[in-house]
Amino acid sequence: MTAQQALDAILVMPSNGQKPRHLLVMLHGWGANYQDLAPLAQMLDFPGFAYLFPNAPFDHPQVPGGRAWYDLENMPNCQQLPKSRELLINWLSSLEDSTGVPIERTIMAGFSQGGAMTLDVGLTFPCLGLVSMSGYLHYEPDTNSLAEVDEESLIINTEKITRSYPSQLSPTLIIHGKQDPVVPIAAAREAQEKLTAIGVAIQYHEFNMGHEIPAPALEVLKDYISVAM
């Protein structure tokens, strides 16, 4: 990759000192940075797993030290989303060379805006699994092309593009809070409905929580990873 294609990331190798057999990539949300989710590596600590926490490529417009995958305040005409999508695709494509773990043994996860990027980019790879926590869809998913988006939809209609999907779509876990004040629960329900419609195997969980990852949600994530392995 060129310097422009690279993403800075925190890499946590398996605690048993062995070479990783699996990889968990976790994307932070809007205004956070790669340190935000890094403690989850110790909390999860699956044998044989390496953990990667990439930094989003853009500065957050208000939060010092915060990063963004794109500027939410300038949607839908923001050009940062296509750039982040390109960077993330190139970076994910390079991970087998840098870690020795193929994409088929990689789980991609994200929180909030990171969850949206996971659903956006992750579905184009034959990942072991995908996880969206407090996330949302960017577009109307279609296995042939992207359809027009209803004006009343919660989906961000950034641009109409043709999308190539693997023959087997990655099983996907969606976790969301019923009291989420940032990304409404309707966004998760819409994602479940629309992804199920194109053949994605969805595990869906709602919790009495806000915009967060509490212990019960973390237990669901652990169970999902255990089964995926």
Tell me the C-alpha to C-alpha distance, in Å, between residue 27 and each of 45, 60, 160: 17, 15, 24
Q: What is the per-residue pLDDT for 18?
A: 87
Tell me the C-alpha to C-alpha distance, in Å, between residue 49 and each of 2, 24, 25, 107, 139: 27, 7, 10, 10, 31
Closest CA to 108 of 28, 194, 42: 28
Instruction: Give Cβ neighbours of residue 212 (< 8 Å, ≥ 6 apart).
Output: 134, 177
Prediction pTM value: 0.88
Which domains are assigned to the chain?
A: 9-228 (3.40.50.1820)
Q: Report yes or no: 212 and 177 within 8 Å, Cβ to Cβ.
A: yes
Closest CA to 80 of 26, 13, 30: 30
Q: What is the per-residue pLDDT for 150?
A: 41
Q: What is the per-residue pLDDT for 185?
A: 96
Q: What is the per-residue pLDDT for 77?
A: 55
Q: What is the per-residue pLDDT for 1?
A: 35
Q: What is the per-residue pLDDT for 142?
A: 62
Tens digit of each residue's pLDDT, the chain (229 residues): 333 357 999 999 998 888 999 999 999 999 999 999 999 999 998 989 999 999 999 988 888 889 999 987 766 556 888 899 999 999 999 999 999 999 999 999 999 999 999 999 999 999 999 999 999 998 777 655 433 334 344 444 444 445 566 768 899 999 999 999 999 999 999 999 999 998 999 999 999 999 999 999 999 999 999 998 7
Task: State the Cα–Cα distance between residues 20 and 109, nearest whole angstrom.
Answer: 18
Task: State the Cα–Cα distance between residues 137 and 115, nearest whole angstrom.
Answer: 9
Closest CA to 208 of 173, 180, 174: 180
